[in-house]
């Protein structure tokens, strides 16, 4: 059991025949009591400070643990966001490549189709030219025939025959 300043103060010594000087012992005990009280107050103060420091340490330890957990969660979130962004970027690239391939294939198909149409039009133009040439040549052959001369002669003869008849109608009026 710990000794208190009151225990020191109330301590009674047995008196002996030539014992210690009572005033000197009491003065010394008073000094011991004061020092002991001082030590007890300092001890109490230090215990209070220690308790306060332990509380603060506990508080800061909790904050540190919370921050560490928050940092881990933030890192995991950042990694997840990065991973998702990479996946999305890859999907976008694949989509763009598919679209580019589709556009190229469409353009090639249109180009082939246009080339085939051009070839077909060239063939049709050649056929048309050949037919036109044959038609013009046939027409020229018709024009160059002697039938025209006979036609002009027949027309002249009819004109001459119709002239007197025309004159006859014009005088009778």
pLDDT digit string (tens) for 15-24?
777 777 778 8
Question: Where is 51: in which H helix or E strand?
Answer: helix 22-144
Q: Which two tokens stand for residue 115?
A: 């080339």
Domain count, the chain: 1
Domain-located, residue 117: no
User: Is position 69 within any domain?
Assistant: yes
% of the chain residues with pLDDT over 90: 57
Dig out the tokens for 172 from the structure. Answer: 């009778």
Label residue 62 by pLDDT band (50, 70, 90). Answer: very high
Identify whether 51 is part of a domain: yes
> Is there a domain that residue 27 lies in?
yes
The pLDDT of residue 42: 94
> For 46-50, 110-114, 121-125, 167-171, which range has the lowest pLDDT when averaged over its residues?
167-171
Residue 136 falls within a domain, yes or no? no
Question: Does 141 or 3 have the greater pLDDT score?
Answer: 141
In a domain? residue 53: yes
Distance CA 95, CA 101 (A): 10
In a domain, 30, yes or no: yes
Q: What average pLDDT does the chain have?
A: 86
pLDDT digits (tens, 9 = 90+) for 79-99: 999 999 999 999 999 999 999
Find the domain containing 72 and state its range. Answer: 20-109
Cα-Cα-Cα-Cα dihedral sign, residues 25, 27, 28, 29 = positive
14 or 28, greater pLDDT: 28
Residue 59: inside a domain, yes or no? yes
């Amino acid at each position: 059991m710990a000794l208190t300043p009151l225990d020191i103060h109330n301590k009674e010594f047995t008196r002996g025949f030539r014992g210690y000087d009572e005033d000197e012992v009491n003065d010394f005990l008073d000094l011991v009591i004061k020092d002991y009280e001082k030590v007890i107050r300092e001890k109490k103060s230090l215990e209070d400070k220690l308790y306060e420091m332990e509380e603060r340490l506990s508080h800061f330890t909790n904050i540190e643990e919370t921050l560490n957990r928050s940092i881990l969660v933030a890192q995991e979130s950042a990694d997840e966001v990065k991973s998702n962004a990479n996946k999305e970027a890859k999907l976008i690239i694949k989509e763009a490549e598919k679209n580019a391939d589709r556009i190229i294939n469409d353009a090639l198909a249109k180009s082939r189709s246009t080339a085939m149409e051009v070839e077909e039009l060239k063939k049709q133009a050649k056929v048309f030219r050949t037919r036109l040439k044959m038609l013009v040549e046939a027409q020229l052959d018709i024009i160059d025939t002697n039938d025209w001369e006979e036609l002009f002669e027949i027309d002249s003869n009819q004109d001459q025959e119709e002239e007197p008849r025309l004159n006859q109608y014009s005088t009778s009026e």
